[in-house]
Amino acid sequence: MIIITGGTGQLGSQIVEQLLGRVPADQVGVSVRDVDRRSDLAARGVRVRHGDFTAPGSLAHAFEGATQVLIVSTNQSGEAAVAQHIAAIDAARDAGAARILYTSHQGAAEDSVFAPMPDHAATEHYLAKTGTPFTALRNGFYADTIRHLLGQALVTGELVAPADGPVSWTTHADLAEAAAVILADEGRFDGATPPLTAPDALDLAQVAGIVSELTGRTVRRVVADDEEWTASMIGHGVPAEQARMLLGMFHAARRGEFATTGPELENLLGRAAVPVRSALTGFISA
């Protein structure tokens, strides 16, 4: 049985749907914190069980009988994130899973200045020590992040953010489909995958240019001072710790940490990846 964690999340739920098009429902299980939210899957024959990374004891039942477990990374960061990932990895190993998969990031690195990236690197390092075959999905940066970075740009005509760099923006839908392909074809990758990204890396000036073309209205890229931008975020209610973490994303982009691209995602999909222009079209029309 293939178990997927985070079955109510944006990525996990799409992976489940893609997987159900490839394997019978009775071979798929989801581990979720609230089983009632996925009663629809239970009705379709998917095994739905309670599992919570912060309550490791619950994972033994959630992962029972697993041949593969896909651990969707938590939205926490720092020691809490790594501890949750380790709890899930240990539970998958103890359940006898023949392979453990983990949604990592193409920018995973111990020396990254963006807090989630060292967390991914630490999780990959722990996976490598378990003795269980594993696959770390080196996913591109979620294109959905652009929606938040646009802020009020469609109203003001200005995309205001700190200095950045090129990013391999990649859609959740493409990454979910790739994960399902890998799960259905067990053992396709051993260890970390090549970068699973769209073929192009764009900075925010290029994003602003595409938005201008799509809307017919000029959207100007305005580079904000780091400290002024951080203070503005905090002034708009963003917790100070989160605001500083977000600033780290821009610092990492400037260093080229998210600029890596590769053909492997499109090879898995057997088609072109969704380009940023298409993703932006969806954001603008929503």
215 alpha-carbon distance from chain centroid: 28
Counts for the chain of helices (H) and strands (E), in that order: 13, 11
pLDDT of 263 reads 97
Q: What is the CATH number of domain 2-138+172-192?
A: 3.40.50.720
pTM to 2 decimal places: 0.95
pLDDT in tens, the chain (286 residues): 999 999 889 999 999 999 999 999 999 999 999 999 999 999 999 999 999 999 999 999 999 999 999 999 998 888 999 999 999 999 999 999 999 999 999 999 999 999 999 999 999 999 999 999 999 999 999 999 999 999 899 999 999 999 999 999 999 999 999 999 999 998 789 999 999 999 999 999 999 999 999 999 999 999 999 999 999 999 989 999 999 999 999 999 999 999 999 999 999 999 999 999 999 998 888 6
Could you please report the per-residue DSSP string of 238-253?
--HHHHHHHHHHHHHH
Q: How far apart are the first and last CA of the chain?
A: 37
Closest CA to 208 of 220, 216, 197, 198: 220
| Side-chain half-sphere CA neighbours of 87 within 13 A | 20
* Cβ–Cβ < 8 Å for 158, 219: yes
Domain ranges (residues) in the chain: 2-138+172-192
